[in-house]
Amino acid sequence: MDGINRRGETRVEWRGSVQLVVKGLEPMAASIADISEFGCGLQAERAIAPGTSVGIEGDTFEASGSIRYCYPHQGGFRLGIELHPVS
Q: Per residue in 32-51, pLDDT tens?
A: 988 888 999 999 999 999 99
How is the chain split into domains, by residue range? 12-83
The pTM score is 0.79
- The predicted pLDDT at position 61 comes to 80
* CATH classification for the domain delimited by 12-83, as one of 2.40.10.220, 3.40.1390.10, 3.90.650.10, 1.20.1090.10: 2.40.10.220
**What Cα–Cα distance (Å) separates residue 35 from each residue in 1, 10, 53, 72?**
19, 9, 18, 19
End-to-end CA, the chain? 30
Q: Tens digit of pLDDT for each residue in 9-20?
A: 565 455 689 999
